[in-house]
Amino acid sequence: AVSVLSVLLFGAIALLWLRSESALALAPVAGAVLMMAEFSDAARAATPDLLCSALFLGGLFAYVRGREVAAAILLFLAFMARPDSIVFLAIFAVLLVGYRQKAWGALAGFAASLVAYFAISHWAQHPGWWPHLWFSSIEQHYNMDGFDPPFSAAAYLRAFAASLVRAVSLNSWVGISV
């Protein structure tokens, strides 16, 4: 049910955005791009990824249209659907500040998400991003109890390179981003 809702929400927002730009004729092109990006796999996955993407797309649309309250709410809901999306929100916030955009809604959504991120991490006793990255991308252990490897830039770059190679070799969507 969540997957169906996510697909419908994503499609509705995409079509609404195209219509608002008088570009509804490009809907088949957008559909083709989504097919190349393996949208159907994301739609079938039992993960919150597509819901997060739909809410994030809605937040960006609200930002572009100057709907500050809606942007704040939708970006925060995107974070709540998938807390690791804080990375995308942080990049968006840095770009807004860097380009001196007046977007209090988007920045408020990021600020609320940042507060919630630290609260959730604390209450859930999350070990942090580095131990989690190490555990999932560098070397797995039986459990993460007391697992706290020292930060290593070389290990981080190796994990990043391995993830990049895996993304390029296992996914066809990379080709459309080039």
Instruction: Tell me the pLDDT tens digit for each residue of 91-116.
Output: 999 999 999 988 999 999 999 999 99
Does one domain contain both 48 and 68? yes
Which has more confidence, 118 or 138? 118
Which has more confidence, 150 or 18? 18
Does one domain contain both 99 and 155? no
DSSP 3-state of 171: coil
User: What is the domain count for the chain?
Assistant: 2
- The pLDDT mean for the chain works out to 88
pLDDT tens digits, one per residue of 59-70: 999 999 999 999
Q: What is the per-residue pLDDT for 177?
A: 56
Q: What is the per-residue pLDDT for 2?
A: 85
Does one domain contain both 51 and 101? yes
Q: What is the per-residue pLDDT for 173?
A: 61
Does one domain contain both 11 and 53? yes
Q: What is the per-residue pLDDT for 13?
A: 96
Does one domain contain both 152 and 68? no
Does one domain contain both 134 and 94? no
Decide: 78 and 85 in contact? Cβ < 8 Å: yes
Which has more confidence, 166 or 32? 32
Q: What is the per-residue pLDDT for 170?
A: 75
Domain interval for residue 18:
2-126
Does one domain contain both 79 and 110? yes
Q: Give CA–CA dist 162/169, Å, rounded.
A: 11
Q: What is the per-residue pLDDT for 175?
A: 57
Q: Give CA–CA dist 27/30, Å, rounded.
A: 5
Does one domain contain both 82 and 161? no
Does one domain contain both 80 and 167? no
Q: What is the per-residue pLDDT for 167?
A: 77
Does one domain contain both 18 and 92? yes
